[in-house]
Structure 1
Amino acid sequence: MGVVEALVGATVFDGETRRHGVAVLVTDGRIAAVLPEHAVPAGAVVTDLGGGLLTAGFIDAQVNGGGGVMLNDGPTADAMAAIARAHRPYGTTALLPTLITDTPAATAAAIAAAIEAAPTRPGVIGLHLEGPHLAPARRGAHVAELMRPLTEADADQLVAATEAIGVLMVTVAVEQAPPRLIRRLADGGVVVSLGHTDATYDDVVRAVDAGARGATHLFNAMSPLGHRAPGMAGAALDAGSLWCGLIADGHHVHPATLGIAIRGKRGPGRCFLVTDAMSTVGTEGTTFLLNGRTARRENGRLTLDDGTLAGADIDMAASVRLLVERVGVDADEALRMASAWPADYLGIAEMRGRIRAGLQADLVHLSDRLEVKATWIAGERDEA
C-alpha cells in the first residue's frame, strides 16, 4: 500500500447521505475508507479542505467538445484528452467524448482513438457515438445526408470494439435500428440509447424490450409527449428500465419541464445530467464549426445560422446549480444526477459515481454555493 491521504474538514456526500466529521482515506488511486476524523490512522497525510462539500466526481455521458476542441474536427486520443482537461475544472472527472453524425471514416477514427485514450488519458472512460443511425426527420444540428440505417456490419464493428474501449454508448433512432440489431448491440455490451427519432410510443417499447437502455437528451430531437400520442418523450418517462439524459442549460428544456420530468420518471431508471457541451466550454470563443457549418455563441446559446440549437454552452457544475436554483431540485438529488445516476446507467458503479471504499478516488470539492474548488482523478488532485 502506498501513501495514505486523509481528506478532512468538509461535509462528505457519499451518494446517499451527507456525513459530517468524517475523513475520506485515499491510497493508490482508490478510496480506502470513510471513517470518523478521530480514527485517521497514524502516518496518514492529512489534507484539511477547510469546509465545503466533498462528493463524487461528475460523470458526463455526452461531451462533443471543450477547450476549443471538437471531437468531430479530429477524432484522436489527444483531442479526447484535451476535452477532458477542459471539463475537469467544472467537476467532471469522467466523460464520454461524443462524435456526432459523421462519415464512416470519422466513426472508425473515433473508435480507434477511444481504444487508445480510455486506459491512458485521465477522465476519458470511453466513447459516445451519437449517430449516424439517426432519423433525418429529427436531425437537430446533425447532417441528415450522413444518416443511414444500422447494418449487421455496423453492429459487428461496435460489439468488437466495446471491450477495448471500456464504455461504448451509441445513440440510434428507432426507425434506423431494428430490434434484432439493438439486441445484438446490448448483448455485446454496448449501451444503446434512443434519440433523434420520430418513433411512436409502441415503437419505443419494442426497442426497450430489445435492450435499449437510455434516452438521449430527453425532449430534444424526438417525438414529443402528447395526451393521445405519448411519443418517444412519453415512452422514455414511462419505461421503468430506460434512463434519461437531460440538458439543464435553461435553453434546451424549460426549467418547469425539467422538474416535471425528474418528478415523473418511472423507476428504477432515473433522469441524469448531460452537458451536450461544445468546444466553447472553457474558452472565450464566440464561434466554432460543426460539420463545416458555423455555430455562434450568444447569451448562453449556441445556434446555427437557421436558429437551430447546436449543442450546449454549459458545464456540469453549472447544470447542477441550475437544477437547484431554478428547478428546485434537492441538492443531493442534483449531485446524484451528475454522478451516481450516470454511473449506474453506464454500468460503472463498481468503479465510480459514489464515495465508497474500493471505488476509484474520483472526487470534487465544492463550495457551499456548489462552485468547484478542486477535483481528484484516481487520487490525483487538481485545483479548479
Structure 2
Amino acid sequence: MSITQFINCRQCKNGQLISEPLTVNTNGIIIPNSPLPQDTIQIDLNNNIISPGFIELQINGALGFHFAHYEDPKTYADGVQRLAEYLPSTGVTGFYPTVPTVASHVFHSVLPLLNPTDGEAAASVLGAHVEGPFLAPSKKGAHDAANMHIPANSSLEEIYGEENLKQSIKIVTMAPELPGAVEFMKTLRSKHDIQISMGHSAANYDQGLAGMEAGASLLTHCFNAMNPLHHRDPGLVGLLSDPNPPYFSLIADAIHLHPRVVAMAYRSSPKHCILITDSIELSGLPDGLHPGHAQIPFNQLKTGNKVTIENTDTLIGTCIGLDECVRNLMAWAAIPLAAAVQCVTENVADAMGLGDRGRLEVGRRADLLVLSEEGTVRETWVGGRKVFGGEG
C-alpha cells in the first residue's frame, strides 16, 4: 500500500472550505503534504469536497437490529458488525451505540460487546452511550419506566458493571434533578472520565446549572423529552443562552423538531451544536409494516423516516441518516456545507474529547468523506481505505 494524496479538492476545516491537498500514509494517518516518495498515488477529486468522517453520538439501531435487544453474544456481535458496515453509506465512520433504559442484567450482557473497536471496512464503535436508567419518569418517552432508577437508591457498579464503567461506557444521559444525580455525575466524570449529558428530564434552569457544575457538558436531543422553553422558566433549554453553553444534540428530521427550532438552536451557538439521528432499528429497511418487540409490543408502520404504531399517530422514532440531517441543517439554517459538517465532526470530537479523529489534521485518522456541493456522500474512507462509493 502506497502513500495516497488527494488533489484538486476542498477540505472542510473549522466551518470553512480550504483548497489544499490531503495526504494519507500507509497506516491510514493524515501526514504533511511534503516531502512525498516517488510512488505516491495521487487521486484527483475534481474539486469535490473532503470532510472528516461523520461521528454519530446517538443511534439505537438499524437494519432490524436494536442495541437494547439481547439474545446471545454472537447474535448481538453480528448485529453490531452489520450496522458498522452499513453506516459508512450514510457518511458515518464512528458511532456511539446507544442503549436506552433496560434491566441491569441487560446492561451487563450488552455493554462488554460495545467496547471501543476499530473494525475493518466498517465504522468504528467508539463506546456506549447509555441513555438511562437515571431518567425522569415524567419525561420517559419510549423508555420503560419500570426499569428506571433513582441515583440515591442505586449503585453505578450494580447497574452497569464496574468493568463497563472502565471500558465500554463513554457517555451517560441522566436527569440532573433526581436525588443523588449530582453525586453520580461527579463520580462518572472524576473517577471514570465519562461524559455526562442531561436529558429525559423535567429539570428547571437552576437544576441544569447544578448539573453543569457537577460535570455535565451536553444536552440530549434538545427540546425533546424535556420541559419546553418558557419565558419565565427556561428549563434546560435556557442553558443554550449561557456564555459557556453545553453542547446540545438535535434530531434534524422535521419530525422531532420544527425546522425553525433547529435553525434557532444552531444559531445560538454553532460550535456547540451536534446533529444526531437517534434512529431506531427500522433505519435502512423498506417502508411498510414491521413487527414490534419487547419495548414496542405493536406493529410498527414505517413511512419514509417516520415510524408510528400501526393505526395510530403515536411516534416511535425516526429512520433518518446523518447525511440527510446535515443537508437539512444546510437548508433550514441557510448555512454552507462546511459549517453544517462541523456539527457531526469537529463539534462531536470536542464534546467527547476525541484527539484521534473528527478533524482533517496531521496525526489524525484518515476517516474522511468525499462529498458533493449539496452534501451527498460520494465516497467514505475509514483509516485510509475506501469502504463506500466510487470504484473498488
- Flag whether TM exceeds 0.5 (same fold): yes
- Following the alignment from structure 1 to structure 2, what is the Cα–Cα distance between the partners of residues 41 and 227? 62
Contact 1:87–1:281 (CA under 8 A) maintained in structure 2: no
- Following the alignment from structure 1 to structure 2, what is the Cα–Cα distance between the partners of residues 162 and 377? 27
Deviation at 1:204, TM superposition (A): 0.8
Q: Which runs of 5+ in 2 are unaligned?
A: none
- Following the alignment from structure 1 to structure 2, what is the Cα–Cα distance between the partners of residues 162 and 376? 31
- Following the alignment from structure 2 to structure 1, what is the Cα–Cα distance between the partners of residues 244 and 157? 26
Amino acid in structure 1 at the alignment position of 2:292: L
Deviation at 1:160, TM superposition (A): 4.3
Distance 1:357 1:263, change over 3 A: same
Deviations 1:44-69 (A, max 9, x none): 12222333211100001101011221
Amino acid in structure 1 at the alignment position of 2:360: I
Amino acid in structure 2 at the alignment position of 1:89: S
User: Partner residue of 1:11?
Assistant: 10
Amino acid in structure 2 at the alignment position of 1:7: F
Secondary structure, counterpart of 1:325 in structure 2: helix
Secondary structure, counterpart of 2:171 in structure 1: strand
- Following the alignment from structure 1 to structure 2, what is the Cα–Cα distance between the partners of residues 260 and 34? 39
Does 2:250 align with 1:254? no
When normalised by structure 1's length, the TM-score is 0.90
Secondary structure, counterpart of 1:382 in structure 2: strand
Contact 2:304–2:319 (CA under 8 A) maintained in structure 1: no
Deviation at 1:309, TM superposition (A): 2.8
Does 2:280 align with 1:275? no
Q: How many residues align?
A: 375
Deviations 1:270-299 (A, max 9, x none): 011111011222221533535143332124
- Following the alignment from structure 1 to structure 2, what is the Cα–Cα distance between the partners of residues 159 and 119? 23
Does 2:370 align with 1:371? no
Q: Which runs of 5+ in 1 are unaligned?
A: none
When normalised by structure 2's length, the TM-score is 0.89
- Following the alignment from structure 1 to structure 2, what is the Cα–Cα distance between the partners of residues 381 and 146? 42
Alignment RMSD: 2.3
- Following the alignment from structure 1 to structure 2, what is the Cα–Cα distance between the partners of residues 298 and 95? 25
User: Partner residue of 1:107?
Assistant: 107
Amino acid in structure 2 at the alignment position of 1:282: G
- Following the alignment from structure 2 to structure 1, what is the Cα–Cα distance between the partners of residues 219 and 385? 33
Amino acid in structure 2 at the alignment position of 1:114: L
Deviations 1:144-177 (A, max 9, x none): 2221123552157566434423x61111112335
Identity rate, percent: 27
Secondary structure, counterpart of 1:374 in structure 2: strand
Amino acid in structure 1 at the alignment position of 2:64: G
Q: Which moved more, 1:171-180 or 1:339-348?
A: 171-180
User: Partner residue of 1:27?
Assistant: 26
User: Partner residue of 1:78?
Assistant: 78
Contact 1:65–1:281 (CA under 8 A) maintained in structure 2: yes
Match of 1:356 among 353, 361, 377: 361
Secondary structure, counterpart of 1:343 in structure 2: helix
Secondary structure, counterpart of 2:302 in structure 1: strand
Contact 1:3–1:28 (CA under 8 A) maintained in structure 2: no
Distance 1:237 1:276, change over 3 A: farther
Contact 2:195–2:217 (CA under 8 A) maintained in structure 1: yes
Contact 1:159–1:189 (CA under 8 A) maintained in structure 2: no
- Following the alignment from structure 2 to structure 1, what is the Cα–Cα distance between the partners of residues 340 and 193? 28
Secondary structure, counterpart of 1:357 in structure 2: coil
Distance 1:237 1:14, change over 3 A: same
- Following the alignment from structure 2 to structure 1, what is the Cα–Cα distance between the partners of residues 33 and 141? 45
Amino acid in structure 2 at the alignment position of 1:231: G
